[in-house]
Amino acid sequence: MAEQVLNQFRSDKTLREDCVAIYEAMGMDLNTAFRMFMERTRMVRGLPFPAVLPQKQMTKAEARKAIDDIRSEAESFPEMSLEEINDEIRAARAERRKRKTKK
């Protein structure tokens, strides 16, 4: 058997308790789970799971600026009456029906 060493590190108590409960439900203890993690790390020669940064969350200030930018952009478009909007919708639907019948 290879020489044994002790690995120690600190973690949040609740995190540890949650993990212990998960691994016990799987029929193993925390030490076994960590040994499995280390073996898998050695096998893949890196983290045994994808490690990517989460998508950037938009701040309230950024969201407000985006909304204001859209409003400013929308002001440059001409106003349309309800009848003009309905005419555009009818034309788009007719075009879509025409494409479907050609298929």
- Domain spans in the chain, listed from the N-terminal domain onward: 13-44, 69-102
Tokens of 30: 């925390």
The predicted structure's pLDDT at residue 78: 80
Q: At residue 51, does pLDDT exceed 90? A: no
Q: What is the Cα–Cα distance from 79 to 24, expressed in whole angstroms?
A: 65
pTM beyond 0.85: the answer is no
The predicted structure's pLDDT at residue 81: 87
**pLDDT mean over 31-55:** 92
Q: What is the Cα–Cα distance from 11 to 19, expressed in whole angstroms?
A: 11
Q: At residue 77, does pLDDT exceed 90? A: no
The predicted structure's pLDDT at residue 36: 95
Helices (H) and strands (E) in the chain, counts: 4, 0
Q: At residue 75, does pLDDT exceed 90? A: no
The predicted structure's pLDDT at residue 58: 86
**pLDDT mean over 73-77:** 82
Q: What is the Cα–Cα distance from 64 to 35, expressed in whole angstroms?
A: 48
**pLDDT mean over 66-77:** 87
